Amino acid sequence: QPVLTQPPSASASLGASVTLTCTLSSGYSNYKVDWYQQRPGKGPRFVMRVGTGGIVGSKGDGIPDRFSVLGSGLNRYLTIKNIQEEDESDYHCGADHGSGSNFFWVFGGGTKLTVL
């Protein structure tokens, strides 16, 4: 089963750019990954889904153009340009695996993004 690994923290200055990484375990390079934003005290919010070919489908409602994704090998990246204060959040990646009763969904540990 896949394991998704995220750095626990990241930081960036206001107006700068940052790239968050979600790394799939070996053997799962063809997996697509969802990215979710979770502001303090709130439920998660869909950002977008990414595979090795880039974004899969559309961005979530209200996600600005400053957010983009890229997929390469085992890594799935979420890049935020021109960081704003409201981008300070936890960012979670997740992927599904299997089917039927053997289906499950796995999340990474999340990355806390601090805006300096």
Partner 1 sequence: EVQLVESGGGLVQPGGSLKLSCAASGFTFSGSAMHWVRQASGKGLEWVGRIRSKANSYATAYAASVKGRFTISRDDSKNTAYLQMNSLKTEDTAVYYCTRRGIVGATVWFDPWGQGTLVTVSS
Nearer to partner 1, 30 or 101 (CB): 101
d(CA 42, CA 108): 18
Q: Does 46 bind partner 1 (CB under 8 A)?
A: yes
Should residue 54 be labelled a site residue for partner 1 when binding is judged by CB under 8 A?
Answer: no
Smaller CB distance to partner 1: residue 14 or 111? Answer: 111
Which residue's CB is nearer to partner 1, number 108 or number 115? 108
Half-sphere exposure of 83 (CA within 13 A, CB side): 21
Residues contacting residue 66 through CB under 8 Å, at least 6 positions apart? 80, 81, 82, 83, 84
48's tokens: 């977008």
Structure token pair of residue 32: 């697509």
By the rule CB under 8 A, 58 interacts with partner 1: yes
Does residue 92 interact with partner 1 by CB under 8 A? yes
Least Cβ distance, residue 105 to partner 1 (angstroms): 4
